[in-house]
A and B are shown apart, each in its own frame.
Chain A
């Protein structure tokens, strides 16, 4: 893409989706953009909210995505100024951010919760589990933390995934969220960061199919199961 653009009407709908998912952590919503806009879903989330008055940063742990290129695209499309990670109010991460990076994000404080960074993470796939006993997409014989089964579903062979169980404001009782493309370390780091409510970091997860889910700093979650691919 040579340039990005998000039409006001799409900014509107994108914001509503962000609001819906943040109000109901763990819920998955689909993001659809009109033909007036030219941007991939994770950048739409940024363009819906950043402008000349918000500092932002872009990270990438994926080889094929150059963070600097995307930062430039976002900056010219929105007028928002780029900054170093600890000063950023909005951060877009292609793939899982490093633990160091996550820990350096601004958290705000009890006197200024609004200082907490908002993080958008592009992951592979979001899905829900019907119940927390087993994953309907998986063969029940799969082991946690190993990938040595010879009839492992090819879909999952190359994917790190973590399933979390959430509760808290916005969640009716309890719910689950399975995130492919993010490891247990990401979630355990996030949980530690959000341990001093109202300071904290709010996260939106955006998958490659344009689905969105969010974890508010007020959300309590635990990792139920995870799978790491050891290359």
Chain B
């Protein structure tokens, strides 16, 4: 059996640019086009098993591999850090299989694959941001049945979400949604903004760059085209709050205008989560 199959298989060998074969790439590309045409809609796609585990960026990786071309420059970050071990692994996989040049400088990159952050700056009209998504369904907390979820999105019936936000505010005094804050895209679909912090959400609204969201395990792709309205769900009298700790500033570059993360200890220290931005800013300081 093996010889015959090898013989037949040899006729189908294709020149590959990357780990994905040409059929898989087309499938993903078609799904991307649908996602861009219907901003915020979760497009189902035949998610392939990747060398990284489900939940570890297989969706983001598939998007990058389907989109990337020899004239791109790739940046990969995790929590804003180019040196995060998972980012390193993903970048290594991408570069080894595609030979595309890599960078840590956001403004030099044409494609940024990221887990949980949008770079503080550097993305413009020619760039594509690819976000890794663990759970693409924003209504997961208020509805478990998938058939009902499908109806809610199809009919733009987000009432359960609104009720839940209202109850949250009443019970806790503030809306306690942390990262992945639910947002309305193009006045139509509510999306899960992956676990990016609330800090990053304003940068999605009317952005000059295209953002693609890839959920490999759940097999969904969605998109926010450039210059598209992205509004966090909140009430008229409840302003949308980003993460901000008064008095905190980066102990490396001094910034208090970027998303900071804490180094715990007897006295708190803070650092920029976006390590590339921080380094460049330290240089200036």
Q: Measuring CB to CB, which residues of chain A are less than 8 angstroms from any residue of chain B?
A: 8-9, 11-13, 15-16, 18-19, 22-24, 48-54, 109-111, 113-114, 116, 118, 168-173, 197-198, 200, 202, 216-218
Does the CB pair A8–B22 fall under 8 Å? yes
Measured between beta carbons, the chain B residues less than 8 angstroms from A12 are: 17, 69
Q: Is the CB of A113 within 8 A of B34?
A: yes
Q: In the assembly, what is the distance between CA of A15 and CA of B34, in Å? A: 13
Q: A50, A52, A110, A116: which has the most chain B beta carbons within 10 Å?
A: A110
Contact (Cβ within 8 A) A170 B38: no
Determine whether the beta carbon of B154 is less than 8 Å from that of A22: no
Contact bitstring B27-44, A, C-beta under 8 A = 1, else 0: 101111110111101011
Contact A198 B41 (CB under 8 A): yes
- List of A residues within 8 angstroms of B44 by Cβ: 114
30 A-B contact pairs sorted by A residue (CB < 8 Å): A8-B14, A8-B22, A11-B26, A19-B33, A19-B36, A22-B33, A23-B36, A23-B226, A24-B226, A51-B27, A54-B30, A109-B154, A110-B154, A111-B151, A113-B37, A114-B43, A169-B227, A169-B228, A170-B226, A170-B228, A172-B208, A172-B227, A197-B188, A198-B38, A198-B188, A216-B36, A217-B37, A217-B38, A218-B37, A218-B225
Give min CB distance, B158 to chain A, whole Å. Answer: 14
Chain A nearest CB, measured from B78 CB (Å):
25
Residue among A8, A53, A169 with max Cβ neighbours from chain B (10 Å): A169
Min CB gap A228→B, angstroms = 29
- Given A9-B70, A169-B228, verify A50-B33 contact (CB < 8 Å): no
Q: For B30, what are the chain A residues with a Cβ–Cβ distance below 8 Å?
A: 49, 54
Whether B172 sits at the interface, judged by CB under 8 Å, is no
Tell me the complex Cα distance, A152–B247, Å: 69
A78: nearest chain-B partner, CB-CB: B26
Q: Report the separation of the CA atoms of residues A48 and B225 in the bound assembly, to the nearest whole angstrom.
A: 21
A-B residue pair count with CB separations less than 8 angstroms: 102
Please report B residues at the A interface, Cβ cutoff 8 Å.
14-17, 22-23, 25-27, 29-34, 36-39, 41, 43-44, 67, 69-70, 150-151, 154-155, 186, 188, 208, 210, 225-228
Closest residue of chain B to A199, judged by CB? B38
List of A residues within 8 angstroms of B41 by Cβ: 113, 198
How far in angstroms is the closest Cβ of chain B from A231? 36
Whether A22 pairs with B23 at a CB distance below 8 angstroms is no
* B196 CB to nearest chain A CB (Å): 20
Bound: A132/B69 CA distance, A: 36
Give every chain A residue within 8 A of B22 (Cβ-Cβ). 8, 11, 51
Max chain B C-beta neighbours (<10 A), residue from A53, A114, A116: A114
In the complex, the answer to whether A23 meets B38 with C-beta atoms within 8 Å is no
Q: A170: nearest residue on chain B (CB-CB)?
A: B225
Q: Complex: how many Å from CA A19 to CA B130? A: 14
Distance A89 CA – B188 CA, assembled complex (angstroms): 24
**Distance between A90 CB and nearest chain B CB, rounded to angstroms:** 9
Closest CB-CB distance, B220 to chain A, in whole Å? Answer: 11
Residues of B within 8 Å of A52, CB to CB, are 23
Least CB distance, A173 to chain B, in whole angstroms: 8
B225-A23 in contact (CB<8A): yes
**Cβ-defined partner of B155 (8 Å) among A11, A22, A110, A114:** A110
Min CB–CB distance A203 → chain B (angstroms): 10
Identify the 5 closest CB pairs spanning chains A and B, nearest first.
A110-B154, A169-B228, A170-B225, A169-B225, A111-B154
- Nearest CB to that of B32 among chain A residues? A19
Asked if A49 meets B33 with Cβ closer than 8 Å, knowing A8-B22, A11-B22, the reply is yes
**Nearest Cβ distance between residue B139 and chain A, in whole angstroms?**
16
| A159 to B133 alpha-carbon distance, docked (Å) | 48
Q: CA A48 – CA B25 in complex, angstroms? A: 10
A216 to B70, CA, bound (A): 27
Complex-state Cα separation, A212 to B210, whole angstroms: 18
Starting from the known contacts A9-B70, A170-B227, 12 additional A-B residue pairs (CB-CB under 8 Å) come to A12-B69, A13-B69, A22-B36, A48-B26, A48-B29, A49-B30, A53-B27, A169-B186, A172-B226, A197-B38, A197-B188, A216-B225
Contact between chains at A113 and B38 (CB < 8 Å): yes
A116-B37 CB under 8 A given contacts A8-B15, A9-B17, A24-B226:
yes
